[in-house]
Structure 1
């Protein structure tokens, strides 16, 4: 994290982007696209209300995270506030002194142009407020890459916040630091309910008793196989394994580069290693990987990293392969 002494922070939220991304994260891929018409036509439907409430964004978590970098000079949220999805947040945002910018889509279900308006305002603010030190972009669209790059060229420290799985890697790479919304304090990660799958498989098997005997036998023969394949679907550990593997490779690269600059067997400060890792991959976060601290992350990689803790000092070096 950059030095926050006298830091002044501007926060820009592409609210539609973050709300839709989180809705899809909670209810499944492209869920919002499928539910959009139903939400706009009947927002008071109990099922619609329930789905929206389960996918509510914790605005406070985002603003509190941004405030950890310094004093919030301005906070703006861009969206079509007449939309039932966004209208629920208005009082919450106003209570946190967020400036609401109204954007009307040019046509039904069309983009509201938040990326252009947000980028224009951000660049204008950087010239209007020369003491602005940090820019927080809350979005996941790759359209914001040029904005992040321009902010950096103008000497600002750029922090990105986006929903895991819906954020362009190019945007994360363009920021000085990137944090997944999922890993912010106060945000509860969505958990896919397995019972729904079981209920579905039972529904498939239910008509069997009324069938003709030989047909029933065929159904019985097929049902377990179908249920088995559906029961296996909720296992979503593979992306996590990929993330863990990428983090391990990132650590190894950072240690090797650190040793290249110093003596091969010299101990490196763990804080310097973490800083280097975040420079290489701004989206790296040990908390998002399930570790309470960077030291815990290093201990879990004891096959490649050797950790030495003496008092308040934590040193690390690349573990030599066994002869």
Structure 2
């Protein structure tokens, strides 16, 4: 159970917006619509578009982890038409992170599903219904959310925006108390050339698609992915993610032991060091000496990522 003083966070994801923005960021402006990528699923197709979708996969876990660094997540919703193949492929990833899937059907013959209106109405309703909400995290880059961000701030909430570089309105970023670039989130692998301009149609015509063919995962790789995770390995990964997030947020070399444990519990409420065979959290950290260092020279125990650790 969260402490009464613990900040309470609500996360709202315009899923179509973030998926399309990421795809266009990597493959060219308006490429998502030209490729009709919404009709493809990387897991069920070996086409070129499916490969491009795989390359542009959104890491939902990194988004939720970042949001949890502000406090306990009490609401997390993603808005999209989940019957569309490209979105359906994310359902397992979202459900595993306890994200509610809000179904939106297209309201016109096009692809517009009204996510901005439905999301905005839900946010305002939640702010009045739950006066103890302290943070609102909006995952989108659409300028339609400027009024929502401003309204949330007027109601006394701290507004955090998350968007994809090149697909985010500067006015939306300015309307938030804090705005994070998806590529800069802890856990997101940097692009090969993040300073390069977004590809254009002319650039794409110069490329030879045949030279970019990739191998698809074999059955054994899929079986490994479906296998139950080793609890000890999962706990180590969780510790690294929490430390990485803490260092990125606070820009501190050493973090409080208790704060790291709290962050781990936010990201995975099932974490218990006792279930892994340790009497205390400090003992658990000591057992991970290959990735973390513990300073017990003072009454307040401090922990940090071991220098030189290659982060996943």
TM-score, length basis structure 2: 0.59
Cα distance in 1 for residues equivalent to 2:193 and 2:89: 24
How far has the Cα of 1:165 moved from its partner? 1.0
Aligned residue in 1 for 2:178: 177
User: CA 1:201 to 1:184, structure 2 compared with 1: closer, same or farther past 3 Å?
Assistant: closer
Per-residue deviation, residues 169-209 of structure 1 (Å, max 9, x unmatched): 10000000000011001112333699xx8x95899xxxxxx
Please name the residue that 1:216 is paired with.
none
CA distances 1:127-165 after superposition (whole Å, capped 9, x unpaired): 110100000000000000000000000000000000011
Q: Secondary structure at the match of 1:16?
A: helix
Structure 2 residues not aligned, in runs of 5+:
197-202, 210-247, 254-312
Per-residue CA deviations over 1:195-225 (Å, capped at 9, x if unaligned) read: xx8x95899xxxxxxxxxxxxxxxxxxxxxx
Within 5 Å, give how 1:83-122 maps onto structure 2: 83-122=84-123
Cα RMSD after superposing both structures: 3.0
- Structure 2: distance between partners of 1:21 and 1:202: 23
For 1:95 and 1:202, how far apart are their aligned partners in 2? Answer: 38
Question: Is the Cα–Cα contact under 8 Å of residues 78 and 103 in structure 1 kept in the other structure?
Answer: yes
Match of 1:153 in 2: 154
CA contact (8 A) 1:138 1:161 kept: yes
Partner of 2:63: 62
Hey, what's the Cα distance between the residues in 1 that align with 2:187 and 2:34?
A: 28
- Equivalent positions of 1:1-323 (< 5 A) are 6-36=6-36, 39-40=38-39, 44-191=45-192, 200=206
**Contact 1:39-1:48 at 8 Å conserved across structures:** no
8 Å contact kept, 2:9–2:134: yes
Find the aligned partners of 1:9 and 1:106 in 2 and give their Cα distance: 30
CA–CA separation in structure 2 for the residues paired with 1:158 and 1:41: 34
Deviations 1:84-125 (A, max 9, x none): 111110011001000000001123433110000000000000
Q: Secondary structure at the match of 1:117?
A: helix
Cα distance between partner residues in 2 of 1:41 and 1:60: 22
Name the SS of the counterpart of 1:136 in structure 2. strand
TM-score for the superposition, normalised by structure 1: 0.57
Deviation at 1:46, TM superposition (A): 2.4
* Unmatched 5+ stretches in structure 1: 204-286, 296-323
Point out the more displaced range, 127-136 or 107-116. Answer: 107-116
Cα drift, residue 55 of structure 1: 0.6
The runs of 4+ residues in structure 1 deviating greater than 6 Å are: none
How many residue pairs were aligned?
Answer: 202
Contact 2:134 2:157 in 1 (8 A): yes
Which structure has the larger Rg? 1
Structure with more relative contact order (C-alpha pairs < 8 Å, separation 6 or more): 2
